[in-house]
């Protein structure tokens, strides 16, 4: 019916005009009684035609105006909502940075938890002398000792396993030295040498120790899947080794498998009820799951066991901040900083708490301090940039985002927030370039599509704006 409405309207108006014309002739030329009757008929028919003209014409025009007004109103409402979303999302990436805020205690190596059995039952005086040196810590010439043992092993008859056992301990000692110096790749090499010799010696307990050490070394290099395998093998041989459950829990936490992490920390605590670091790390896993009350209970227990545990205070503050209890959070961050002034995460977290309270100058001061403590801390520059942006100081915000990108060029949130800062300054080309980069790094970042669409709309690029908004709705 709608497609014929225009034609019907034309016919009705034409008929109305004809009847008016006929009525005029009737009044002029017909006798008196007929004039009255024809005039009455013309008026009645004319009113009817006028009514339908109104139905098909004027009403449709009014409806068209109303539809247009409604569409405009909806567009303005959508635009306002998009701006509201933009404002909300702008702050979101800061709250997404869990890793930088809750401090997960890292891997521990076996020297801290395993009492190594140095003694090898042997009548070989050379092996006995090397054992004594190792026990006494006289290993300055360890490389020379290793070469000498390897040479003797080549010509040994019936004592190969004993020499392998000695080499295993030498390599483990070398690996420990490199591990504690932070040279994890070198530590890994020595632990692999130790494992090769341990498998030749047939000592299962020592093999388990080598697996454990390798798990810690590769885990510190971010190779979590491989680290998990080594800890699984360690536990298969040594199901009572507390540190193996603890380290595997760290691996699961790093992998985002929080239920498995909690199960391993549970087992570590079961085997060692006073294990403060296991409570703290279980709290981190609960925190990642959003179960902040359980996390706080674990941090409480960790602090009871270790009163000067700065990381536990920091982590408990992190949980309180997520609950919106910022004053309580700040008190915990204060305590963490008092115990450990070099804990950059505590300054970051306290700065975020002040930021949430709208105290931007104090927030910036804490980010300044975090940068002093850790000059290459990308998160600190990023968060300080956010604080400057909230103060409307976009040039300083952009400078901080620039530095954060130099340090960590793969963080989509930084490009996004820098794009917002450029957009607020009216520098739309730079803003769009940053939103493009954010989308390239994180294709499902809805905020970047919305923001880029708004910028396109501001530039009167309606087609591009609509495509970005439609992408969000897909």
Average pLDDT, 10 consecutive residues per value, the chain (474 residues): 45 52 51 54 53 43 38 40 33 28 53 37 53 58 66 59 74 86 92 87 85 93 94 95 94 94 96 95 94 96 96 94 95 96 94 94 96 95 94 96 96 94 93 96 92 91 91 83
Task: Round to whole Å and give the CA distance between 367 and 418.
Answer: 18
- Predicted confidence at residue 238, as pLDDT, reads 94
Instruction: Give the DSSP letter of residue 70.
Output: H
276 assigned to some structural domain: no
Last residue of a domain, one of 210, 240, 270: 240
Residue 171 and residue 70 in one domain: no
Residue 120 and residue 76 in one domain: no
Q: Model's pTM, two decimal places?
A: 0.70
State which residues form the domain around 431. 410-474
121 assigned to some structural domain: yes
- Predicted confidence at residue 101, as pLDDT, reads 46
Task: Round to whole Å and give the CA distance between 149 and 202.
Answer: 18
Count CB-CB contacts under 10 A for residue 147: 11
Residue 122: partners with Cβ closer than 8 Å, 6 or more residues away: 128, 159, 162
Q: How far is CA 336 from CA 82, 197, 280, 314, 316, in A?
A: 40, 44, 14, 6, 10
Residue 155 and residue 75 in one domain: no
CB 18 within 8 A of CB 49: no
330 assigned to some structural domain: no
- Predicted confidence at residue 169, as pLDDT, reads 82
108 assigned to some structural domain: no
155 assigned to some structural domain: yes
Residue 53 and residue 138 in one domain: no
- Predicted confidence at residue 140, as pLDDT, reads 59
315 assigned to some structural domain: no
H helices present in 155-275, as ranges: 160-180, 184-201, 204-220, 224-237, 242-255, 258-271
170 assigned to some structural domain: yes
Helix (H) or strand (E) holding 405, with range, is helix 394-407
Extract long-range pairs of 351-356: CB within 8 Å, 24+ residues apart. Answer: 351/383, 351/384, 351/387, 352/94, 352/95, 352/101, 352/321, 352/383, 353/317, 353/321, 353/326, 353/329, 354/330, 355/94, 355/383, 355/386, 355/387, 355/390, 356/321, 356/324, 356/326
- Predicted confidence at residue 407, as pLDDT, reads 97
266 assigned to some structural domain: no
């Amino acid at each position: 019916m709608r497609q014929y409405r225009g034609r019907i309207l034309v016919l009705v108006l034409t008929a109305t005009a004809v009847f008016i014309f006929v009525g005029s002739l009737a009044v002029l030329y017909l006798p008196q009684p007929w004039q009255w009757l024809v005039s009455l008929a013309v008026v009645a028919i004319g009113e009817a035609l006028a009514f339908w003209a109104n139905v098909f014409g004027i009403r449709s025009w009014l409806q068209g105006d109303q539809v247009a007004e409604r569409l405009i109103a909806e567009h303005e409402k959508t635009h306002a909502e998009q701006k509201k979303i933009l404002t909300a999302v702008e702050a979101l990436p800061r709250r997404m940075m869990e890793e930088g805020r809750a401090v997960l205690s890292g891997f521990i190596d076996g020297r801290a938890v395993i009492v190594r059995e140095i003694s090898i039952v042997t009548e070989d005086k050379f092996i006995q002398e090397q054992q004594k040196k190792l026990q006494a810590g006289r290993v300055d010439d360890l490389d020379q000792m290793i070469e000498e043992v390897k040479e003797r092993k080549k010509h040994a008859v019936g004592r190969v396993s004993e020499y392998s056992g000695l080499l295993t301990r030498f390599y483990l000692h070398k690996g420990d030295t490199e591990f504690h110096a932070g040279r994890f790749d070198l530590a890994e090499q020595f632990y692999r040498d130790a494992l090769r010799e341990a498998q030749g010696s047939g000592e299962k307990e020592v093999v388990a120790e080598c697996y454990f050490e390798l798990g810690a070394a590769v885990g510190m290099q971010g190779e979590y899947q491989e680290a998990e395998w080594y800890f699984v093998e360690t536990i298969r041989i040594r199901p009572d080794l507390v540190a193996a459950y603890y380290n595997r829990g760290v691996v699961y936490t790093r992998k985002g498998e929080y239920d498995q992490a909690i199960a391993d920390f549970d087992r570590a605590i079961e085997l060692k009820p006073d294990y403060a670091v296991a409570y703290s790390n279980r709290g981190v896993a609960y925190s990642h799951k959003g179960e902040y009350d359980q996390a706080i209970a674990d941090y409480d227990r960790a602090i009871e066991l270790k009163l000067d545990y700065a990381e536990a205070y920091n982590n408990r503050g992190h949980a309180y901040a997520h609950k919106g209890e910022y004053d309580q959070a700040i008190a915990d961050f204060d305590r963490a900083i008092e115990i450990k002034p070099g804990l950059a995460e505590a300054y970051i977290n306290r700065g975020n708490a002040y930021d949430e309270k709208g105290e931007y100058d104090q927030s910036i001061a804490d980010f300044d301090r975090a940068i002093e403590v850790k000059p290459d801390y990308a998160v600190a520059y990023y968060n300080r940039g956010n604080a400057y942006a909230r103060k409307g100081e976009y040039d300083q915000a952009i400078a901080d985002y620039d530095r954060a990108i130099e340090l960590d060029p793969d963080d989509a949130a930084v490009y996004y927030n820098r794009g917002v800062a450029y957009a607020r300054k009216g520098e739309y080309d730079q803003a769009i370039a940053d939103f493009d980069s954010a989308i390239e790094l994180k294709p499902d970042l809805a905020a970047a599509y919305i923001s880029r669409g708004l910028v396109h709309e501001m530039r009167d690029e309606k087609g591009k704006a609509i495509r970005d908004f439609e992408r969000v709705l897909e």
